[in-house]
Amino acid sequence: MTKNYSSEIASPLSSNHEDYLKAIYILEARGEQVTNSVLSDYIGFTPASATNMVKKLSQMDLVIYRPHQAVSLTPTGRRVALEILRHHRLLELFLHKTLDIPWDSVHEEAERLEHVISEALEDAIAASLGYPKVDPHGDPIPTKTGEVGHTPGHPLSQAKAGRAYRLVRVLSQEKERLAYLGRLGLSLNVELFLREQAPFDGPVLVEVAGVEHALAAEMAALLQVVPASAK
């Protein structure tokens, strides 16, 4: 497997290494302080294991580690994380568009594939999709050079009642949640009409394809929308 970061990294990285880097990237991007417990929670290993791995990544110059401090990525570490994320999101879109894999299943599939595709395959996939900018959840696909586009939109929970919106991003990869949204007729770029916005973080009333649904506030907060008129 040829990686475009192979030139700067001594030893080849395992899927595991890549998962840690990706996790750190995602947690950082969420604006969280990537403490050991946050990281170990996210990746599903014990805190001791996380410390261990972080130290190793630090020796490889992929992360910056100072005991008892939040970890962060070095420029190289970030490049690796973004390459994996690019693989992941390209794969999600590819699986969805080319093989009709439902949007609530593409995440777990891509989770394994992202570590084993070559540069050539990555390129072929990107080309076949016409160099897309976002995956089926609206998450931006990093470019080969590591730029991450800014996604427009704001949470549906902050939208105004009585207006039409378009769904541009779902901030969740959970199968159940996505399957539920799918059942409501919601998927990327679908239009919806916000009927009512209950106060005090109450549920939201939306109309999708002529049918009305109540959405928990928690769910509405995960739906990023733009006014329906907007491109």
User: Which residues are near DNA by CB under 7 A?
Assistant: 14, 16-17, 35-38, 45-49, 51-56, 65, 67-69
Work out what residue 208 binds among a second copy, DNA, none; the CB cut-off runs from 5 to 8 Å by kind. none
- Residues in contact with a second copy by the rule CB under 8 A: 1, 95, 98-101, 105, 108-109, 112-113, 115-118, 120-121, 124-125, 128
- Judged by CB, which is closer to DNA: 38, or 62? 38
Question: At its nearest, how many Å lie between a second copy and the CB of residue 171?
Answer: 25
Three-class HEC string of the chain: CCCCCHHHCCCCCCHHHHHHHHHHHHHHHCCCCCCHHHHHHHHCCCHHHHHHHHHHHHHCCCEECCCCCCCEECHHHHHHHHHHHHHHHHHHHHHHHHHCCCCCCHHHHHHHHCCCCCHHHHHHHHHHCCCCCECCCCCECCCCCCCCCCCCCEEHHHCCCCEEEEEEEECCCCHHHHHHHHHCCCCCCCEEEEEEECCCCCCEEEEECCEEEEECHHHHCCEEEEECCCC
Question: At its nearest, how many Å lie between DNA and the CB of residue 34?
Answer: 9
- Judged by CB, which is closer to DNA: 36, or 187? 36
Question: At its nearest, how many Å lie between a second copy and the CB of residue 59?
Answer: 26
Question: At its nearest, how many Å lie between a second copy and the CB of residue 120?
Answer: 7
Work out what residue 128 binds among DNA, a second copy, none; the CB cut-off runs from 5 to 8 Å by kind. a second copy
Question: At its nearest, how many Å lie between a second copy and the CB of residue 90?
Answer: 12
Work out what residue 55 binds among DNA, a second copy, none; the CB cut-off runs from 5 to 8 Å by kind. DNA
